[in-house]
Amino acid sequence: MQSAMFLAVQHDCGSMDKSSGNSPKSEEKREKMKRTLLKDWKTRLSYFLQNSSSPGKPKNGKKSKQQTFIKPSPEEAQLWSEAFDELLASKYGLAAFRAFLKSEFCEENIEFWLACEDFKKTKSPQKLSSKARKIYTDFIEKEAPKEINIDFQTKTLIAQNIQEVTSGCFTTAQKRVYSLMESNSYPRFLESEFYQDLCKKPQIATEPHAT
């Protein structure tokens, strides 16, 4: 629902640009729309952080895990542009990237990648098998609810691999999805106004010296 609202704002903004010309009033309206869009980004990201910080229920009503998400400094945020891995290694950066993908209706890519990361860390053969089946039904099989965009050969290979589950069942697909995000969604995220805002250093107000 939030994604739909986000895109609706984008659509309205585009329509306004086309109809209002280049008058001072139209420039003011565009700036106001940009501020609204940026505010929506921050609100949605805050909501996302609060609701995705922990996969399980909080114990004893504590919210300690939610407090692990600390807004990065401009210098830390700028590191995300150096490598895709830098972004994924940051809890705040990962959450921001997930929110961005959600706004573009392609969050299945990062969700699949994260599911694979969790899958590879699983030690129990029973859990490994059940997780493999869930990943396959959620992301791989035809008309899966979060079907990822991979070629038929890779899908066939996965279907064969999960007959005898190993931690490497989804390695090929995970690499393809990683490459897709790195070359496609990641550059767009770095160009987003939300990310650019995180990288801005706060301006220090200075009082004029008395003469």
Q: Evaluate whether residue 2 is within a structural domain.
A: no
What is the model's pLDDT at position 43?
62
Could you give the number of structural domains in the chain? 1
pLDDT tens readout for residues 67-120: 456 889 999 999 999 999 999 999 999 999 999 999 888 899 999 999 999 999
Asked, for residue 64, whether it belongs to a domain, the answer is: no
Q: Which two tokens stand for residue 200?
A: 């801005």
Report helix, strand and coil shares of the chain as percent, to nearest 5: 70, 0, 30
Tell me the CATH number at 105.
1.10.167.10
In a domain, 178, yes or no: yes
In a domain, 36, yes or no: no
201: tokens are 């250093």
Q: Global pTM?
A: 0.68
Amino acid letter at 88?
Answer: L
77 found inside a domain: yes
Domain membership flag for residue 119: yes
Q: What pLDDT score was predicted for residue 55?
A: 39
Nearest to 86 by CA among 182, 194, 174, 198: 182
Residue 174 has pLDDT above 50, yes or no: yes
Its domain, for residue 144, covers 72-199
**pLDDT at site 40:** 61
How far is the C-alpha of 166 from the C-alpha of 174, rounded, in Å?
Answer: 14
Q: Decide if 50 is inside a domain.
A: no
d(CA 145, CA 108): 9
Q: Does some domain include residue 153? A: yes
